[in-house]
Structures are given as structure tokens and as C-alpha cells.
Amino acid sequence: MILNLDLTPRVVVEPVKYSHQAIRRTEHLEDIKVLLTERVDTIKEVLPTIITKFSKYPYTNAETCKASFRRALDDTLSGDFPMREFLRFIRRIFICSGLVSTGEEFDKEIIEMYQLAKYMEANE
């Protein structure tokens, strides 16, 4: 005799939050500006970018990478550089410098920075 058991498997579904979902406006970026700059300043080595005629922020070593990051950050805060493009740019910096190894780790780190900035702001 064969019994058919109608069991519904239970699955835990957890929403995934990406960096571009947490950091949407320049106000959000201003909140993490200091933390983000401190993190980028820890870069010792970075792989150079492939320079094309469309590259606005090329870098070849850690020092030029930090300078390009600051220019991109200033342009994003002033509205000249789109937020999504900026997040892609710093994701590439974080991965090429070894600060993170995957995009998922980058998203997690940016969200943690945002939460820390909000915590610090609330406890001032």
C-alpha cells in the first residue's frame, strides 16, 4: 500500500537588500560619506581600470584611485554623476582592491555603513 502524504515543505524566505536599495538619494550618500571615505583610505593596492575615452574617473594605483573616488563622490553629491553609476564605480573599487570579494559582500557593507551612520546620528 502506498500512502500519499500531502506535505507542504516549509521554506524561510528572507528579503535581500542591495546597496542601491538603501542608498537612493544624495542625502543617504551624505550620511555615509565619512565612513565610505575612511574605508577607501585603507586601500593599499588596487588593480588599474581599463582606460577608455568614456572613462571619467580612471585610476592606475591606490593614490589615483582615492583621488578618482573623491572626484566621483563630489560629482555624485552635486548631481553630475548618477547614484547607480557611482555605486557601480565604488563596487568595482572595493572588489579590485580586495576590500570585498563579491558584490553581495559590498551590498552588505554599504548597508551596514548606512545603519551605523543612522545610529551615530540618532545618538548624538
C-alpha cell at 62: 591606490
Cβ–Cβ < 8 Å for 91, 106: yes
pLDDT, residue 121, reads: 87
Q: pLDDT digit of tens for each residue in the chain (124 aa)?
A: 666 656 666 655 555 555 657 778 888 899 999 999 999 999 999 998 877 666 789 999 999 999 999 999 999 999 999 998 999 999 999 999 999 999 889 999 999 999 999 898 888 7
Polymer length of the chain: 124
Domain boundaries along the sequence of the chain? 26-122
C-alpha cell at 32: 555615509
pTM confidence score: 0.79
Return the residue matching grid coordinates 502524504.
Answer: 5
Q: Is 62 helix (H, G, I), strand (E, B) or coil?
A: helix
DSSP code string of the chain: -------PPP--------HHHH--SHHHHHHHHHHHHHHHTT----PPPPP-TT-SS--SSHHHHHHHHHHHHHHHHHTSS-HHHHHHHHHHHHHHHTS-SSHHHHHHHHHHHHHHHHHHHHT-
